[in-house]
Amino acid sequence: MTPEPRGRKAPRGGHRYVIQKHAARRLHYDLRLELDGVMKSWAITRAPSLDPNEKRLAVHVEDHPIEYNAFEGTIPQGEYGGGTVMIWDRGRWGPDGDPHRGYKKGHLIFTLEGEKLRGRWHLVRMHGRGGEKKEPWLLIKDKDDEARNPDDPDILEEKPLSVVSGRSIPEIAEGKGRKRVWHSNRSVKDNVTGGATKADASVRRASTSKTSAKASTQSG
Ligand code: MN
């Protein structure tokens, strides 16, 4: 079996990638990689690092629908994931070799072509454990040209804002520019099409005239 070349580019129209910064009960970064029509998801508790020596805990959580990638806004308190969601990075990912095999084995090697994160990365399941509901994995930057040293600037401080709207978490929380709500206890269809609440609609009407150009590029 011939492995695919290292550091290959993510294929056009291939696999979607997104990281949503999620200010919930505890702040974390949700890494999502498209595979087999869903977004495989890991909650990075201390955020990704470009320093290959920084191994970051990545708790494997439930698959998310692809439609959720375009969501930036708030999830009501009391619902699953209640809090504020920012699209922190997005783009494409390309696996090294067979991603199904890597996923099953507990070692995914892949290249990110995001607006913030690039280069090769590793997701490694800890202790070879499998089958647990919330498996602990580690997210580790590969030692390539995109890697940084501990003394280099931290990407989190360098680029803290949303890649779709340029907003901060507090700005998204207060609905600046555009207010969106995702109800995690409703279906994807209801959220994407008819799920807007009355409060949503009135805010949208009120803010239509002053919606920034950046915010209006957001899809979904
Ligand atoms: Mn989350």
pLDDT tens digits, 162-189: 999 999 999 999 999 999 999 999 999 9
**How remote is the CA of residue 38 from the centroid of ligand 1, in Å?**
16
**How remote is the CA of residue 4 from the centroid of ligand 1, in Å?**
32
pLDDT of residue 192: 86
**What is the pLDDT averaged over residues 203-213?**
41
Band of residue 219 on the pLDDT scale cut at 50, 70, 90: very low
**How remote is the CA of residue 43 from the centroid of ligand 1, in Å?**
6
**How remote is the CA of residue 151 from the centroid of ligand 1, in Å?**
29
Is pLDDT of 201 > 70?
no
- Ramachandran assignment for 183, one of left (phi > 0), alpha (psi -120 to 50 degrees), beta (any other): beta
**How remote is the CA of residue 87 from the centroid of ligand 1, in Å?**
12
**How remote is the CA of residue 84 from the centroid of ligand 1, in Å?**
9
**How remote is the CA of residue 5 from the centroid of ligand 1, in Å?**
33
**How remote is the CA of residue 55 from the centroid of ligand 1, in Å?**
19
Q: Which residue type sits at 32?
A: R
DSSP 163-194: TTT---HHHHHTTSS---B--TTS-HHIIIII
| Joined tokens for residue 5 | 């070349």
DSSP the chain: -PPPPTTPPPPTTSEEEEEEEEESSSEEEEEEEEETTEEEEEEETT---S-TT--EEEEEEEEE-GGGGG--EEE-TTSTT-EEEEEEEEEEEEESS-HHHHHHHTEEEEEEEESS-EEEEEEEEGGG--S-TT-EEEEEE-SSTT---TTSPPHHHHS-S-TTT---HHHHHTTSS---B--TTS-HHIIIIIT--HHHHHHHHHHTTT--HHHHT---
pLDDT of residue 194: 58
**Which residue's structure tokens are 């409703």?**
186
**How remote is the CA of residue 194 from the centroid of ligand 1, in Å?**
23
**How remote is the CA of residue 147 from the centroid of ligand 1, in Å?**
25
**Which residue's structure tokens are 């580019």?**
9
**How remote is the CA of residue 1 from the centroid of ligand 1, in Å?**
37
pLDDT of residue 50: 97
Predicted confidence (pLDDT) per residue in 98-155, tens digit: 999 999 999 999 999 999 999 999 999 997 555 667 899 999 999 999 999 999 999 9
Do residues 125 and 47 touch, judged by C-beta distance below 8 A? no
**How remote is the CA of residue 152 from the centroid of ligand 1, in Å?**
28
**How remote is the CA of residue 30 from the centroid of ligand 1, in Å?**
5
Predicted confidence (pLDDT) per residue in 49-75, tens digit: 999 999 999 999 999 999 999 999 999
**How remote is the CA of residue 29 from the centroid of ligand 1, in Å?**
7
pLDDT of residue 130: 57
Band of residue 215 on the pLDDT scale cut at 50, 70, 90: very low
**How remote is the CA of residue 9 from the centroid of ligand 1, in Å?**
28
pLDDT of residue 129: 54
pLDDT of residue 213: 38
Q: In this structure, what are the phi and psi dihedrals at residue 215, rounded to the nearest 5 degrees?
A: -65, -30
Distance, CA of 28 to CA of 166 (rounded, Å): 19
